[in-house]
Amino acid sequence: MKQLFNTDVFSRYGGSTISERTFMGSIAGFISYGLVLSYIMASFFAPAMPSMWFLIGVGLVIPLIGCFISSSDSLPISFLGYNMIVLPIGLCLGPIANFVDPQIIQDAALLTAIITGVMGFAGITYPNLFKNLGGALFYSLLGLVVVRILQMFIPALAHLTIIDYIAAGIFSLYIGYDMYRSTTVARTFGNALHIAVSLYLDIINLFLNLLSILSSNND
């Protein structure tokens, strides 16, 4: 969802400037909060077997609304929007676990953590590698969304594993790009939350695509 494709969301947020350590710590804290909350929701609702319409309504519509709200200039309202993203996504991740080998889930989580660490480090350490990727990633994501929609209606496209590899690559690069963006904005709690929202979505999408890749390779 990437903040509903809004590429300038960080520049619209004010607030008091904080230190670099506090800023980066806030980003890490917000991301950790989101991931832990999603994990708790996933664990609690793992036995559930919701309908497809429930998954679309709760796992897509509510997080989309949350993306709008999280773009608010008010930190409390933005944080409310963040919770409207992480809670439904966690709820929908639970039932998915019923169909995947626990070892594959662990492997996907480990790979996600490694890629996130490497790309996050690269985004901060080598900004020149990412500063011009915004446009290319934006249009790549748009194309990916179109393909994912087509996969829902065209069975022949549904099992193309190459799409998962491409998607994993896009979201890996987005992690580096969003971390690069974190070095170019004012260090405020609002910007820290906005960046954390984007990185949370990067990480979750990367995890889901790695999960699909590993599951396909295990068949």
Sign of the CA dihedral running 177, 178, 182, 185: positive
Q: Structural domain boundaries of the chain?
A: 6-218
Average pLDDT over residues 22-48: 91
pLDDT higher than threshold 50 for residue 6: no
Give percent of the chain above pLDDT 90.
Answer: 68
- Per-residue pLDDT band for 161 (boundaries 50, 70, 90) equals confident
Q: What is the pLDDT of residues 63-77, one digit of tens each?
A: 999 999 999 989 999
* Segment among 3-17, 112-126, 146-160, 179-193 with least mean pLDDT: 3-17
Q: What is the pLDDT of residues 88-140, one digit of tens each?
A: 999 888 888 778 889 999 999 999 999 999 999 999 999 999 999 999 999 99
Average pLDDT of the chain? 88
pLDDT of residue 12: 47
pLDDT of residue 100: 87
Tell which wins on pLDDT, 12 or 122.
Answer: 122
Any alpha helices (H) in the chain, and if so which ranges?
A: 2-5, 20-45, 52-56, 62-70, 75-96, 102-125, 134-153, 155-158, 161-182, 189-218
Tell which wins on pLDDT, 44 or 112.
Answer: 112
Residue of 123, 129, 116 whose CA lies nearest to 172: 116
Tell which wins on pLDDT, 10 or 156.
Answer: 156
pLDDT of residue 15: 64
- What span, in angstroms and rounded, lies between the C-alpha atoms of 92 and 59? 6
pLDDT of residue 22: 95
Q: How many CB atoms lie within 10 A of CB 40?
A: 14
- Per-residue pLDDT band for 4 (boundaries 50, 70, 90) equals very low
Per the structure block, which two tokens stand in for 211? 């999960």
Under a CB-based contact definition with an 8 Å cutoff, are residues 20 and 70 in contact?
no
pTM metric for this prediction: 0.89
